[in-house]
Amino acid sequence: MDSTFVILERIAQNADWPTTQSWTQMLQREFQAALDLLDGYRDDPETLYRAMNLFIVMPNGCYGKAGAGAVLLAASHFESKLSTEVANAISHWIESAKLVNDSIPAVRAIEVNFLVRSEQMELAASKLKELVKINPDDYWACRSALNYWAETGDLAQVAIWGKRAEDNAHSSRRWEQVIWQMGVIAQQQKLWQQALGFYEQLLSGNNQDSHLYLRMAQVLFALSEHKRALAYIKQSLAIKSTPVGEQLQKDILKASVWWRKLLP
């Protein structure tokens, strides 16, 4: 059975790409909206298919092909490290988009994200420097900078670019995505209290987000707040059962029992 990545790449290859380009403001908004949809991807392949289907029908090869590259980049996270074949496939669509127009900030941000993912950090740094010099207040430029500095582990720069991404979000959806990314970065760095603070900001508007509840449970478990962790993992599993969630619930219950044995 073909992987999600292979199927998505086949969809892009079979698309009827335009030979002439449309550059209307409405199309630009559609491109941005499709990127926002993709940015909300967690682990549901349906989001990837929806985004790809939006990109391949755009009457603009730059937007469409860059979007296809971004979708494949997101799908590549099923692998811990990019294979040469996968990296070449993603690079093909990004380079094809740049051949149409190499000046679109969002397209260049996708390229930086790809370079970071493929561990080409020196080239990523060079491309990012040029991008933010020309487009310092572009939302996607700020997000790619945040992604780059998170990968380097420079938390001072992460804080700077996280704030700049927030300031340039200009919508609640984009603001939530920035806060989510900041929470994930803090969690990856084992900054548990900071991660908890970011995730808690998202609770009120995400009552059916199993991924958020799972992240909350993971952080609370790391903080040894077993009762709260158990409550959140139960909420997560009630919405969507996953192997990761099921195992975490077992770990929390095991730890809770172990602590109770120490009580007088």
Residue range 16-62, pLDDT digits in tens? 999 899 999 999 999 999 999 999 999 899 999 999 999 999 999 99
3-state helix vs strand vs coil in the chain, percent to 5: 75, 0, 25
**In this model, does residue 1 exceed pLDDT 60?**
no
* Contact in structure between 148 and 129 (CB atoms under 8 Å): no
* Tens digit of each residue's pLDDT (9 = 90 or more) over 49-84: 999 999 999 999 999 999 999 999 999 987 778 899
pLDDT band at 207 (very low <50, low <70, confident <90, very high): confident
For residues 31, 124, 152 and 176, what is the CA-based torsion angle, rounded to 10 degrees? -10
**In this model, does residue 261 exceed pLDDT 80?**
no
Mean pLDDT of the chain: 94
* 114 vs 49: CA distance, rounded Å: 19
**In this model, does residue 263 exceed pLDDT 90?**
no
* 214 vs 236: CA distance, rounded Å: 6
Backbone angles phi, psi at 224, to 5 degrees: 65, 25
Distances (CA, A) of 249 to 122, 125, 145, 236, 238: 41, 40, 35, 10, 12
Average pLDDT over residues 209-238: 96
In the prediction, which pLDDT does 260 show? 57
**In this model, does residue 257 exceed pLDDT 90?**
no
Cβ contacts of 172 within 8 Å, gap of 6 or more? 205
